[in-house]
Structure 1
Amino acid sequence: MELEKLLSKMAEEGVIHGGSEVNEAMVAVSDETRRLCAILNNGVYTNEEIREQVSRIIGQELDEGFSLFVPFTSDFGKNLTIGKNVFINSGCRFQDQGQIILGDESLIGHNVVFATINHDYNPSNRRTMYLKPIELKKRAWIGSNATILLGVTIGENSVVAAGSVVTKDVPPNTIVGGNPAKFLSNLEDKIK
């Protein structure tokens, strides 16, 4: 299955059934992405070389303001969109089958997990995966060891505190934290 058709089916249907043609195509893309991530994570590269390698992983040319500290893992790679001047710290894991969009000037702390898949609760149907996108709006900041779950949008300028698990949308210009993440403060209250 061609990549464009696969991405279209995943977006339209929002589900991947274990053993299906879509599942097999997804696994083939994932195999290549894991190989490319292993190359990235097991060498010593300049910032420019890292940008080039991540561009191959995601199939998108990245701007000179993009910066990433390895190691980095993407499960799929081709459903990840990265804006301008984005920084991703080390140890991050992107499960992007459901789509991840990182807005311009986003900051991602150490060991952040983006999970766009949930499995069926029925034990006999656990190979079925449900997909929903994650989006970070412009200048969102995700603290270290946070987990962002499927279907969540983080609003412009918002902050997710370290260690948080975000299960619901975060409005613009707010700070959230905890498990599950809850409103902590308006951003304007922290700006001096």
Structure 2
Amino acid sequence: MRTMRERINEGLLFTDNCEGLPEERTAAKRLMYLFNNSDPADIKGRTTLISQMFGISAQQAATFWVEPPFCFAYGTHIKVGSGTYINASCNFIDDGTLTIGDHVMFGPNVNIATVSHPINPAMRGYMYASPVTIGNDCWIGAGVTICPGVTIGAGTTIGAGSVVTKDIPANVVAVGNPCRVLREIGPDDLNNYNHGHPFDPSDLDEERQLRDQPFQSER
């Protein structure tokens, strides 16, 4: 006989009230509470909490960043690559596995679900999990919802407010509800930003110089 955890991993119907699952979620909620109420200036403390939430080393936790408030079911089912930024008020329901690549950017209020329920009302109390995968270098816009079982290819941009119900290929711009591919990412995207404003080397050099200067408050 399978365990309930095995049923979750195999995408079979399950309930989450046995095998220590409720206790795991309670422990996750405690960490969530501490993180969401932490001091913004306590970077070391927040990094420690991130490592505990995701069940990873402090060294791994220091390679990406999460802005509170942040909500999740277990935390330990979320795998995050280096250089990724998760903006405020994101909600990742990780009963199933959620895999996020390197250098992914999430806007605020992104919802990702790895679990769903049968449409049959009589069976609605059951759940089933389907993993979600987001490739390297994706940009997930503000207010996007990603449904169970979806894979988003590397380099893709998902427009704000989209509802992603099916797989989206790599290196495209996709928008809408349901989310559909608008176009492939092309030379104009690689050479310009903000509706045709070019990436100018002198402008980028000025930005880098400003970035490296010590900040002096006017207060």
TM-superposed deviation, 1:49: 2.2
> SS of the residue aligned with 2:27?
helix
Instruction: Report matched runs for 1:110-189 at 5 Å.
Output: 110-188=108-186, 189=188
RCO higher in structure (CA 8 A, sep ≥6): 1
Larger Rg: 1 or 2?
2
TM-superposed deviation, 1:191: 1.9
Partner Cα separation in structure 1 for residue 61 and residue 16 of structure 2: 36
TM-superposed deviation, 1:18: 6.0
Please, which of 41, 57, 60 is the counterpart of residue 53 of structure 2? 57
- Residue aligning to 2:26: 31
Q: How many corresponding residue pairs?
A: 185
Instruction: Report matched runs for 1:16-95 at 5 Å.
Output: 16-17=14-15, 21-22=18-19, 25-45=20-40, 46-61=42-57, 62-95=60-93
Alpha carbons of structure 1 residues 33 and 183: separation in structure 2 relative to 1, 3 Å: same
What one-letter code is carried by the residue in structure 2 that aligns with 1:132? S
Structure 1 contact 76–96 (Cα < 8 Å) conserved? yes
TM-superposed deviation, 1:55: 1.2
Structure 1: runs of 5 or more not aligned: none
TM-superposed deviation, 1:51: 2.0
Q: Which moved more, 1:40-49 or 1:102-111?
A: 40-49
Sequence identity (%): 31
TM-superposed deviation, 1:153: 0.7
**What TM-score does the superposition give when structure 1 sets the normalisation length?**
0.89
Structure 2 contact 7–14 (Cα < 8 Å) conserved? no
CA RMSD of aligned residues (A): 1.7
**What TM-score does the superposition give when structure 2 sets the normalisation length?**
0.79
